[in-house]
Amino acid sequence: MTQKIKLAYFGDHRCASTWFLSVVGAICRDLNLSLVKYEDWIGLTDPVTVDIIADVNANWDHRVIIGTLRGFHVIRDPRDIVVSAYFSHKYSHPDGKWLTEQRKLLRQVSV
């Protein structure tokens, strides 16, 4: 299997990753390019044959990938992240082991 990753998208929590990936996904479909979203980077030491790889919870350590690629990192104003995280964690983000307790606390205090 030959590696052909050409582009990497790095995003962060609450930085419009879902919206951004919908736009990139539509472009990939129009251009017949493959897009793979990685929630975590387990297994990336193996060759991957995709055109674009998307990491929606980027970490500085993720910069080390087999081969050469060009990447871009989408960030958001930190004030917007805090507001978005507050409402998402309080109301709409899927429950998880850490979020269940945080959600209980958020619902007990004022904004």
Q: Can you tell me whether residue 100 is helix, strand or coil?
A: helix
Query: Quick one: pLDDT at residue 47?
Result: 46
Angle value at C-alpha 87, between 82 and 27, nearest 5 degrees: 80
Do residue 100 and residue 66 come from a single domain?
Answer: no
One domain, residues 41 and 83: no
| Domain span including residue 98 | 78-108
3-state SS string for 8-67: EEECCCCCCHHHHHHHHHHHHHHHCCCEEEECCCCCCCCCCCCCEEEECCCCHHHHCCCC
Q: Do 26 and 67 reside in the same domain of the chain?
A: yes
User: In terms of domains, do 64 and 88 share one?
Assistant: no
Element (H, E) at 7: strand 7-10
Q: How many domains does the chain have?
A: 2
The per-residue pLDDT for 51 is 81
| Residue 84 sits in the same domain as residue 61 | no
> Does some domain include residue 1?
no
Q: Quote the pLDDT of residue 17.
A: 84
Tell me the whole-structure pTM to 2 decimals.
Answer: 0.65
pLDDT of residue 79: 93
- Which candidate, 79, 81, 77, 83, places its Cα nearest to that of 111? 83
Looking at the fold, whether 48 and 98 belong to one and the same domain comes out as: no
- Classified as helix, coil or strand, 70 is strand
The one-letter amino acid code at 85 reads A
- 33 and 14 inside one domain: yes
For the chain, 111 residues long, the average pLDDT of each consecutive 10-residue run is: 69 83 93 80 56 78 61 87 88 82 89 83
